[in-house]
Amino acid sequence: MIPNLKIDSERLWDMLMSTAKFGGTAKGGVRRLTLTDEDKQVRDWFVAETQALGCTVTVDEVGNLFARRPGKNPALPPIALGSHLDTQPTGGKFDGILGVLGALEALKTLHASGYETNAPIEVVSWTNEEGSRFAPAMLASGVFAGVFTRAYADERVDRAGLTFGAELERIGYRGEQIAGDHPLSAYFELHIEQGPILEDEGLTIGVLTGVQGMRWYEVTVTGQDAHTGATPMRLRKNALVGTARMIEAIDGIALAHGPDAVGTVGLVEVKPNSRNVVPGEVFFTVDFRHPEESVLEAMEADYRAALAEILPPLKLDWEEKMIWNSPAVKFAPHLIDCVDHATDKNGYSKRRMVSGAGHDAVYLARVTPTTMIFVPCAGGLSHNEAESTSQAECAAGAQVLLDAVLEFDASLGA
């Protein structure tokens, strides 16, 4: 019989607020980039908290953390619950870490009750989900799922020239376990929505059926540095002008491909970045997303056509490459049903939905049954220091997570 266990809302909220101090910003957000000293601090905290519950903590070769509570049947692969601890440069208190701490709260509830699950339960923290320091995103869960190699991850370089591998060694979180040599029975991930739909519709829980496809590109536009006062407009090779027109074109491409298409230039670096020098080089990034691969293909074709149309008349050269392609994902129906039932059991309002943002669950779905749970965030705002959700909404998500996991675990013992 599945027990009627209740998570501790206050305890969960206290963990969310206390961990926000690791990299906390003056504006109330969090700056905890992957493999920085702040990342090490929150990792150390996580290890201490889970070991205090009697968990065995394993670290794999790309720094993924697994805290295991034994089950009745050690032959069953563990059921994993988790997300990530890293943030954007100006991140909030909830993106990612709610999934880790909601899972930890579920674990603490099981521990306090003495309830023994059939399968072991693991709380997981994946390394470098955000991709804000080391691109691409979801890097270490990608290694776990066989999408990337350890060597590829180790060679990722941040904008300061530091490598993922060297920084992982520096903070002491290079583990011995081969990434992916760690079978799982299932994976559940709790997350804030990072969009406005649940709040707009007055709903508490998003039951995720999948994640839309995503493609990232990097572009370097090359012109000629020149003196702003001495170089006539007609003779300039202004890389920033070409980039500005590309930014507008990318926005237009997304608008032209329907309401589900999005396109963003989120990072621009201008060289030499001097007020009296015509910019001779610009580096920028492109992010396209859509639930259908055919539409992403069309958006990509339009973007490359725009480069060829816009830049040559300005006497500019360019280099571009796709650095990440994450196809659309569909989650496991059985796990989706577990989340549905858990939501109904607790009387929460809900809707089924597709995630517009990428998550570690995207890659986990390749190697184990996977699903996600969303709770609202104020104004749909995320990747922002003002990111906010309520204590009640966090508690609702953690409760649904626990009950969904217990339902799935019961099916393993049937």
* Cis before 136 (ω within 30): yes
Which tokens go with 60? 């794999």
- Is 341 marked as a binding-site residue? no
At residue 90, the 3 state secondary structure works out as coil
- Burial label for 86, CB within 10 Å (0-12, 13-18, 19+), is buried
Longest dimension (CA), the chain: 82
Q: Domain limits of the chain?
A: 9-212+328-412, 213-326
The structure tokens listed for 208 are 């995720």
Type and span of the H or E element at 369: none
Cβ atoms within 10 Å of 162's Cβ, excluding its own: 15
Judged by DSSP in three states, 329 sits in strand
| Architecture in CATH for domain 213-326 | 2-Layer Sandwich (3.30)
CATH of span 9-212+328-412: 3.40.630.10
Could you give the C-alpha distances from 384 to 31, 46, 171, 388, 391, in angstroms and in order? 10, 23, 26, 9, 19
Task: Point out the residues of the chain with pLDDT beneath 70.
Answer: 414
Task: Tell me what pLDDT residue 357 has.
Answer: 85
Residue for token digits 């027990």? 3
Q: What is the pLDDT of residue 413?
A: 83
DSSP annotation string for 144-194: HTTSS-HHHHHT-B-TTS-BHHHHHHHTT---SBPTT-S--SEEEEEEE-S
Consult the annotation and say whether 189 binds a ligand. no
For 17-58, give the DSSP string.
HHHTTTTB-TTS-B---TTSHHHHHHHHHHHHHHHHTTPEEE
State the Cα–Cα distance between residues 172 and 218, nearest whole angstrom.
31
**Residue 383 annotated in ligand binding:** yes
Q: Is 340 annotated as a binding residue?
A: no
pLDDT in tens, 33-42: 999 999 999 9
Burial label for 350, CB within 10 Å (0-12, 13-18, 19+), is buried
Determine the pLDDT at residue 356.
86
User: How far, in Å, CA of 140 to CA of 162, rounded?
Assistant: 17
Distance CA 393, CA 360 (A): 22
pLDDT at 414: 57
Q: Where do the H-state alpha helices sit in 263-376?
A: 293-310, 333-345, 361-364
User: From CA 300, how far away is CA 136, in angstroms rounded?
Assistant: 18
pLDDT of res. 291: 87
Please tell me the predicted confidence (pLDDT) of residue 314.
Answer: 98
pTM: 0.83
Please indicate if the annotation marks 182 as binding a ligand: no
Report the Cα 151 to chain-centroid distance in Å.
Answer: 21
